[in-house]
Amino acid sequence: AQTVTQSQPEMSVQEAETVTLSCTYDTSESDYYLFWYKQPPSRQMILVIRQEAYKQQNATENRFSVNFQKAAKSFSLKISDSQLGDAAMYFCAYRSALELTFGKGITLSVRP
């Protein structure tokens, strides 16, 4: 079974600064998809970014980018120019054949 680990429960960043959220996973599969989801206080899960494992190029979505290291099974999320609206819980997730496996999540706070 796949496992997803987010070792940092909380992080804080100054507005306009850059922050990196870490995620590691364990799998024996070679092709898969990875996601970062954001969950604000409303609890709506919002897709932030996704990465196909067969692509070497790191995914980017505006201020959000990932550092995907397949050999190391690492999938970190970088948020540039942090905004107050980025404050939320962030979940890393692995898409297997039958389910989406989530990490425990990390609470990101943004200081004005």
Let me know: does 102 contact 5? Beta carbons within 8 Å: no
Q: Is 48 left (phi over 0), alpha (psi -120 to 50) or beta?
A: alpha
51-70 residues near another protein, rule: CB under 8 A: 52
Cβ proximity to another protein, 13 vs 34, nearer residue = 34
| 45 touches another protein by CB under 8 A | yes
Candidate residues 21, 105, 106, 108; the one interacting with another protein per rule CB under 8 A: 105
Segment near another protein (CB under 8 A); pick from 18-26, 62-70, 73-81, 103-111: 103-111
Number of residues that bind another protein (CB under 8 A): 26
Query: In terms of CB distance, is 38 or 110 closer to another protein?
Result: 38
H helices present in the chain, as ranges: none
- Tokens 């540039």 belong to residue: 80
Which of 29, 47, 26, 23 shows the shortest CA–CA distance to 37? 47
65/102 Cα distance (integer angstroms): 19
Q: Which residues bind another protein (CB under 8 A)?
A: 29, 31-33, 35, 37, 42-47, 50, 52, 91, 95-105
